[in-house]
Amino acid sequence: MLLAAALTIWRWGRLQSGLPRGRAVGSFEQWSYWVRDPMLALGCQDPAEQISQAKKRDTRRQSIAHLFEVWWERHKERPVAASELHEDVRQTLDPQGRGRQYVVAYLERLVGTRISGFRLSRQEPVGKWGTATYALIPTVGPENHKEQRDSDAPYANTL
């Protein structure tokens, strides 16, 4: 019964022209056009707003955003080895002082994460005894979203 109702709403939306367009949710432009916009036209709550509110309340996301902001203040786009991180960045990342191995493991889980207008990248070590480096890359608008890993990358593993 729910499937029939959903398909009816979808079909109605596809037949309508000029439905008000909502803000796209990530890279789900087609879904927004086919599903979300008809639901908004029928007076339903906006799922994009619900997602935005959930992200604002997410303490893990907030701590990563704070880490990225501190990192940007101290290192900008410069690639940095975990052992060379500024003390403020290290303190934000590892307030209990668990050490370099913890810092490296944490950074490895954050590689590809997009939050607060930045994406953490990892550069492979040069040579046999080289060290991997990490850098924040500013993201500009939603057009880069499809080229990047999921913004919720750290949630794939428990931090």
pTM of the predicted protein model:
0.65
Q: Which residue segment(s) compose the domain that 46 sits in?
A: 1-14+28-57
Q: For the segment 55-98, what is each residue's pLDDT rounded down to a tens digit?
A: 889 999 999 999 999 999 999 999 999 999 999 999 999 999 99
pLDDT at 44 over 80: yes
Q: Is 117 left (phi over 0), alpha (psi -120 to 50) or beta?
A: left
Is residue 104 scored above 50 in pLDDT?
A: yes
Residues 3 and 66 in one domain: no
Same domain, 90 and 142: yes
Q: Are residues 65 and 49 in the same domain?
A: no
Sign of CA dihedral 49, 53, 58, 61: positive
If you average pLDDT over every residue of the chain, what do you get?
A: 85
Check whether residue 46 and residue 97 sit in a common domain. no
Same domain flag for 88 and 130? yes
pLDDT for the residue 141: 55
Are 151 and 110 contacting, i.e. CB atoms less than 8 angstroms apart? no
pLDDT at residue number 119: 97
Q: What is the pLDDT of residue 149?
A: 42
